[in-house]
Amino acid sequence: GARIGILGGGQLGRMLAMAAGKIGLSPAILDPAPGAPAGQVAPLTVADWADAEALARFAASVDVVTYEFENIPEAALDAIEAVAPLHPPRRALAVSQDRLVEKEFLASLGLSTAPFAPVDDAASLQAALERIGTPAILKSRRLGYDGKGQARLSGAEDAASALEAMGGAPAILEGFVEFSCEISVIAARGADGAVAAFDPGENRHEDGILRRTRVPADIRPGLAADAVLLAGRILNALDYVGVLGVELFVTPAGLVVNEIAPRVHNSGHWTQAGCLVDQFEQHIRAVAGWPLGDGTRHSDVEMENLIGDDMERVPRLLSEGADLHLYGKAQTRPGRKMGHVNRLIRHPGT
């Protein structure tokens, strides 16, 4: 079977590796850390992103390379792409690595985003606030996740502290979107251009971190179709191969795109319990050049993340027979994603 190289050995890399194994393919992981969670389930190459030679050797040892996170340095991607095919494509990474480029790309497709403006200093923040107003969120353009690198502004008086929180990094000011709920679509595009999407899930965040995803989302049916079509437009525009996560705000005026992730996505973990072919396998199939699998949802599901001290609930969950997914991380830290649980939502009388 084909050898699938996976950049990044966190929980997403781990679950991608397990999905590859399920369909007879051979996963290999590259991560700078010797203890990377995915290294427990697949061969691990420990190499720094700056070690171009090690990256090229890794790429030469596999048939195709994919990744579990979007913040891989450009030079590392160059070293790998010189040796092996990389999916999803570079442009998807370029777009999702920088929130300003991402918003401009989405707007160029005619999709709605929060009002936004680049911020590099006090003067550009002032100008952005005059145009966008408050409440607003200042976000670092690069490297943010789980709500890190963000500062909320309830009024113009918060400008100085918000700018300080960016630590001099280029930022983007976003107008605060008044949403009724957050949903996401996990969509896939095969090497043959076929597009498929999982049903949109409804997401609850706490402290900027995804807490739960429920499917079906409690939205009117037309919106679910809008979400899927919009994801398809993004996939086609990027000539994408693999799985993509699209985070959306539901507003009275329709869907507003928050951000995209060129990879499997935490809000798609419910597919492990709700679909014959889950997001991880769908991604592996796409990057391996296989036809996409059947991602039809057969059950209503709630996924709950186990974060930090939630690990104390594991014995209880085990005794309940819960469908536990644990990432094998040695250290529990506040805010760290340690695992998740999928529960089927049973409806009385069915």
Which positions make up the binding site for ATP?
99, 139, 144-150, 174-177, 182, 205, 258-259
CB 323 within 8 A of CB 293: no
Size of the site for Mg ion (CB under 5 A): 2
Nearer to ligand ATP, 144 or 170 (CB): 144
Binding-site partner at residue 137 among ligand ATP, Mg ion, none, CB < 5 to 8 Å by type: ligand ATP
Of 258, 249, 303, 308, nearest in space to 279 by CA:
303
Buried-state track 119-139, b at ≥16 Cβ within 10 A, e below 16 = beeeebbeebbeebebebbbb
> Which x/- pattern, by CB under 5 A, does the window 254-293 give for Mg ion?
-----x----------------------------------
| Among positions 26, 146, 289, 314, the unique one binding ligand ATP when judged by CB under 6 A | 146
Backbone phi, psi, residue 230, to 5°: -65, -40
Q: Is residue 145 close enough to count as binding ligand ATP by CB under 6 A?
A: yes
Q: Which has the closest alpha carbon to 94: 113, 117, 70, 75?
A: 70
- In whole angstroms, the minimum distance from the beta carbon of 111 to ligand ATP comes to 14
d(CA 225, CA 253): 15
Interface positions, 44-83, toward Mg ion (CB under 5 A): none
* Least distance from Mg ion to the Cβ atom of residue 259, Å: 5
Q: Does 137 bind ligand ATP (CB under 6 A)?
A: yes
Burial of 5 by CB count in 10 Å (0-12 exposed, 13-18 middle, 19+ buried)? buried
176 belongs to the binding site for ligand ATP (CB under 6 A)? yes
For the sheet containing 116-119, what is the strand order?
116-119, 171-175, 136-140, 150-153
Query: In angstroms, what CA-CA distances link 102 with 88, 114, 328?
Result: 16, 12, 33
Q: How many residues does the chain have?
A: 350
Say which entry of ligand ATP, Mg ion, none residue 302 contacts (CB below 5 to 8 A, set by partner kind). none
**302 near ligand ATP, rule: CB under 6 A:** no
The single-letter code of the amino acid at 202 is E
* Angle at the Cα of 41 from the Cα atoms of 35 and 42, rounded to 5 degrees: 90
- Binding flag, residue 258, ligand ATP (CB under 6 A): yes
Is 208 one of the binding residues for ligand ATP (CB under 6 A)? yes
Residue placing its CB nearer to ligand ATP in the complex, 85 or 144: 144
Which one of Mg ion, ligand ATP, none interacts with residue 205, CB within 5 to 8 A by kind?
Answer: ligand ATP
User: How many residues sit in the footprint of ligand ATP (CB under 6 A)?
Assistant: 16
For ligand ATP, give the closer residue by CB, 81 or 259: 259
> Which residue in this structure is represented by tokens 């996990």?
186
- Is 133 one of the binding residues for ligand ATP (CB under 6 A)? no
Structure tokens at 166: 């960016």
Separation of alpha carbons 107 and 257, rounded Å? 10
Residue 25 to residue 201: CA distance in whole angstroms: 29
Query: Is 177 near ligand ATP (CB under 6 A)?
Result: yes
Among 57, 91, 205, 336, binds ligand ATP (CB under 6 A): 205
Distances (CA, A) of 285 to 8, 267, 330, 348: 18, 19, 30, 36
Q: Applying CB under 6 A, which part among 15-23, 140-148, 313-321, 342-350 lies near ligand ATP?
A: 140-148
When asked if residue 307 is in the footprint of ligand ATP (CB under 6 A), the reply is: no
Residue 68 contacts ligand ATP per CB under 6 A: no
Q: Which 164-203 residues touch Mg ion, going by CB under 5 A? A: none
Give the tokens for residue 38: 């995915």
Tell me whether residue 40 or residue 112 sits nearer to ligand ATP (CB atom).
112
Q: Which does 176 bind (CB under 5 to 8 A by kind): Mg ion, ligand ATP, none?
A: ligand ATP
Q: Which residues bind ligand ATP (CB under 6 A)?
A: 114, 137, 144-148, 174, 176-177, 182, 205, 208, 247, 258-259
